[in-house]
Structure formats: structure tokens, C-alpha cells
Chain A
Amino acid sequence: MAVEGNSVALPQFLKKIELIKQGAEARVYRGSFLGKPTIVKERFPKLYRHPLLDEKLTHRRTVQEVRSILRCRKAGISAPVVYFVDYTSHCIFLEDIVGSITVRDHIASTPLSSAQKLPEERLDQLAKKMGQILAKMHDEDVVHGDLTTSNMLLKAGTESGETELVLIDFGLSYISALPEDKGVDMYVLEKAFLSTHPNTEALFEKLLKAYAASSKKSHAVIKKLDEVRLRGRKRPTVG
């Protein structure tokens, strides 16, 4: 196996394909791999971190991301297919969900009737779908760790015309059965949701309702969510 060749081939491959964004975590490229449309996620070294910490963190997140995606897929939850992983340069080659937009962009482009009135029917359906898919994920004991509307994709379905929800960005994910961890997961989503999309409290409530209805273990999780919500507010702040 040309291990030497491998260490040169990958950076060269990345240079040739299109860099679509540099997020906080990784660089994301779009290209073709083995004839399939591919997204390459490269976790590059963060110079501000101590090298030992950086290596441990980057490696752990790469491994966790791949493991969680595979676990979700095995359970029938929509996540991109993992084509290839390079653990030296921390690159993950994933299926490119062609023709998709993030839930964030979708909500932003769908006008709410007004701040007071209920949002449109389409968004209600979306909230329900989100609740259901998250319930399924938590029932598999996968905690996403970074739930935001930018980390959920809407893929136009072909025959039925129904859109499919795909979860992405599992870098901060881990396996846990604890309601506390799942509660915090939903708390992260709630905060991201409400800070990115103002005046959508009612929509998020629908999401939680759908979550509670679909998950067998939801009661404990919702209880923990309420506790975590209070924590930030009850903690005395000084200085």
C-alpha cells in the first residue's frame, strides 16, 4: 500500500477541488470521488491550541463524527454516506446531498405571517419532522452535540415530492443514554433556533411536541431540558 504516496496525494487532491467554506471547525470542499459527488471535510490544525490538545481533539472529533453517522444510518436516520476517512490529515469524504438547502436558509426565506400569528403550514410540517428525527436519534443514544438549523439539510424527494430531512456535522457528537446529555442537546438546539430565527417560539414548541410524541424516553429528557433552561438564569453571576 503506497502509504508515502498517500500523504502527498490527499493535499494535492484537495488543492484541485472546490473549497466551499471554511467554518469554525473545518474546511469543506466539494468534488468527485470514485465517480460520486463528494463533500470533503478537512479538520485542519488550529494554531491557537497547544499541539497535544489540538491533535487529541481533532482526532477524537473525526472519529466521533464518523461513528455517529454510521450509527444513525444503521438505525435508518438520514445522514450522509461515509465514503472514506483519512486519519492522518483528518479528512472525511462524505456523500454530497445534491440539491439541498439548510433548514436555516429555508426558515429564513419562508415569511412568517407576523410576529404574533402562527407560522405557515409548511414550517409546521418541518418542525414536526425535526422533532421526529431527533427523537429517533436520541432513542439510538446518539447525542449530536451541535444541533443548529445550519446542521440540518432539506433534500427534495424525488417521487413523493416530500422533502427529506438529513442530519449533518456530527463533530461534537457522542454516545450517551443519559437524559441530561439529551436534554442539553435539545437546549443547544433551542438556543441556536431562537437566536437565529427570532419570534419562532411557537414553532419550536411544535418541534418539542413531535419529539415527545415520537420518543419512548422523551419524558425524562424534556424534564432535564427544563432544568437546564433554568440553570443559566438561576446561577448567580458576579464580577
Chain B
Amino acid sequence: MHTRPIAMTFFQCDQVFILFKKNVSHYNSPSPSNCLAVMTVVIGFEGSANKIGVGIVRDGEVLSNPRRTYITPPGQGFLPSETARHHRSVILTVLKEALEEAGLKPADIDCVAYTKGPGMGAPLVTVALVARTVAQLWGKPLLGVNHCIGHIEMGRLITQANNPTVLYVSGGNTQVIAYSERRYRIFGETIDIAVGNCLDRFARVIKISNDPSPGYNIEQMAKKGTQYVELPYTVKGMDVSFSGILSYIEEAAGKMLKCNQCTAEDLCFSLQETLFSMLVEITERAMAHCSSQEVLIVGGVGCNLRLQEMMGVMCKERGAKLFATDESFCIDNGAMIAQAGWEMFRSGQTTELSDSWITQRYRTDEVEVTWRD
């Protein structure tokens, strides 16, 4: 029975059917220990927000990492159902690209990793469904991966940082993380919204383009800003709070831009300076607390060169080293899920089909890091 071509066609129609009839052989889960002697190839599926990516990793080498981004018009954010619809329409194309670029066939894959969470519900389900399908079609074990850990493991791989204090900053997350006793422990975080979310929502208020991403456009505008506008600065111990700053600047934008007190570029500049100073501060506190000499920045906001610059200055003052990656790995991508999956798989983990659900809330410190001492 030729199930594979049918599967492709069904997904390309914007609907989801249950494909599995009794004739499909159940996938056998080969024990991971069999695979350790040979090279391990993992494919990763990521789509927890507006980026959908599929990546393939083989023993620390990224073989392919194609990605698509769902971009909304200026002034609008992305909603779950529309984002899921976008992902459904492109995921099989991206999957094909990933296999072709890597020059591999499904039989060459050892494990199928996907984002279990955290993230937006509908997009997560869409991607998980495809992962479950291919895992069963190809007869490969499944692995549900924590999105945040994907970022950390890819950052560690690319930069070869030893044991850094990690600043994970994106549209959905803002956490300062350090590894200790088999857990990625959260030392500091936002107590309300993520820093990327603050930037994205401000971008909507001043109606700048979301292409390629609102944060990128704010960064470009900030370079032209000259006047520093004072904004609230809210660091609470090792934690930060952004919703107050967002409300303040949304209101200020209305008033100040109308009276020409400052330009939108000045506001972008001031917002960046304030938000990033707060992030550098809580990172420094965590470093002082843990006596760490390395910093790794991961997550979409980590692409921002001004943030990297400021963190670099702080590190230099303390004699610490800064590690950062470029936008292909900072921004959500499939290979990071594959990499984390690779680590998990080789330490003996797999996810049963009955456990392959997704969850919108998944704390970084919930995962037992079985692949590190």
C-alpha cells in the first residue's frame, strides 16, 4: 500500500485527515544503544511560533536547516490559527528541502525530533502531527524536545562554550539559565512578558514592517536615533519586568511623536538601550552569583548586534568571554531541535506515541538533562 504519496497530497490540501489504517506497519523502536556505534542522524521539526523549520544533524554537523517565516502586515501580530495554516501549507516543502539539501533518504534518519513545547498551541500541533506521521511512515523513534533546550544545545554546539551563563531572549521567552546538577536552572526571568514581545508590540504601535522581523527593523531604526528618552527601568532582583515599560512607551509614542518631541528612531534607540541594559544587568548578577566566566546569548533577540555589543563590554570589564551565534541559529530553526534530540537520543531517551502530545507551557528546568554530568 503506497501510503507515502497519499500522505503528501492530503497535507497539501489544507485539511488534516487521519491516515493510519490497519495496514500500516507499526513502527518498531530500535533501541538507541544499537545506534551509538554508527553515526547518529536526527531530523528536527520546529514550529512553535511564526517560524517553521526542519533541520538535520549528524554527530554535531548541521547537514541542512531550511526555514520559512510567517510575516504579517505592519501593525499586526501573528495569531495561532493563521500561523498554523501557514505552517501546514509549507511544511512538506521544507521537509523535502531538508532531505534534499542533506542528500539523505528517510531510511538514513535515526530519530525524528519535534518541539513538544513551549509555544503556541495550533502551530505546535500542526508540526507534531507531521513528525508523528513521518516517524511512523519511516519506522523511526520519536523524541519530544523542549524548545528552550533546543536553543541552548545549538548554542553550545556552534560556539563550543564550556559551561556558560545562558541568556535566552526571544519573542516568547526571557530567561537567564545556568546548568547545575542535571538541570538547566532558571536564575532570572521576566515576571511578565518577554523582551522580544515588548519589542514586537512596540513595532506594531509605530507600524513598522514585520519583514524580515519587527526586532530587526527596530534595530536599524535605533541606529539612527540620537536623543535618549528616559523610560522606566525595572529590574527586580534577578528578574525583570517589561509590561510596565511597554505601556509607558506605547503612551509616550502617541504623545511625543505627535508633538515632535522626539522621532520614532529616538524611541527605538531608547527602548533598546533600556531593555538591553536590564538584560545585561541580570546576566551579570547571575554570573557573579555562579562565579561564571562565560556568557552565551541564544534566541531571536540574540541576533541584535547592539545587545551583543553591550554584553561584550560587560564581559570585557569582568574578564569573561561572550559567545553568540548568527541569525540562522539564533532564530527558531529545525536543526536546534535535531541537535537537542541528538543529545537526548544518544543518552537513551525516546518518546512513545502516546506521550507525543504538545504543551504550551513547558519550563526549561522541567527537563532532566541526562546527557551532561
Which residues in A have some Cβ–Cβ distance to B below 8 Å? 22-25, 46-50, 52-53, 56-57, 145-148, 150, 172, 184, 187-189, 191-192, 195-196, 198, 228, 231-239
Contact = CB atoms under 8 A, between A and B. Distances in A.
Interface residues of B, number: 55
B360 interface: yes
Contacts of A195: 185-187
For the complex of A and B, list the 7 residue pairs with the smallest distance between their C-beta atoms, beginning with the closest.
Answer: A238-B172, A188-B237, A239-B172, A239-B171, A239-B49, A48-B313, A237-B118
B274 interface: yes
Contacts of B230: 52-53, 56
B239 to A, nearest CB: 6
Nearest to A60: B233
A24 B281 contact: yes
Interface string B282-319: 00110111000000000110000000011101100110
Contacts of B299: 239
A191 B239 contact: yes
A238 B48 contact: yes
Interface in B46-61: 48-51
A187 B186 CA distance: 14
Contacts of B280: 48
Interface stretch (B13-21, B156-164, B191-199, B336-344): B191-199
A52 B309 CA distance: 18
Contacts of B48: 238-239
A232 B194 CA distance: 11
A50 B228 contact: yes
Given A48-B314, A237-B173, A239-B196, A192 B237 contact: yes
B317 A47 contact: yes
Interface in B336-373: 360-363
B110 interface: no
Contacts of A192: 237-238
Contacts of B285: 24-25
17 contacts: A24-B285, A48-B280, A56-B230, A145-B236, A148-B237, A150-B289, A184-B239, A196-B289, A198-B181, A232-B189, A232-B191, A233-B361, A235-B192, A239-B50, A239-B51, A239-B172, A239-B300
A234 B228 contact: no
A168 to B, nearest CB: 14
Contact of B233 (A24, A57, A196, A238): A57
A239 B170 contact: yes
Given A195-B186, A196-B289, 10 more contacts: A22-B318, A53-B233, A188-B238, A195-B187, A233-B361, A235-B193, A236-B119, A236-B172, A237-B172, A238-B48
Name which of A23, A172, A192 has the most chain B CB atoms within 10 A of its CB: A192
A196 B285 CA distance: 13
Nearest to B170: A239
Given A48-B313, A50-B277, A236 B120 contact: yes
A179 B313 CA distance: 37
A239 B173 contact: yes
Contact of A172 (B236, B309, B360): B236
B328 to A, nearest CB: 16
Contact of B239 (A23, A25, A188, A239): A188
B71 interface: no
B235 interface: yes
B265 interface: no
Name which of B236, B274, B300 has the most chain A CB atoms within 10 A of its CB: B236
Contacts of A184: 191, 236, 239
B144 to A, nearest CB: 16
Nearest to B312: A48
A196 B236 CA distance: 17
Contacts of A238: 48-49, 118-120, 171-173, 194, 197
A239 B199 CA distance: 13
B243 to A, nearest CB: 11
Contacts of A236: 118-120, 172, 360-361
Interface in B110-129: 118-120
B118 to A, nearest CB: 4
A213 to B, nearest CB: 24
Given A24-B288, A231-B191, A238-B172, A48 B239 contact: no
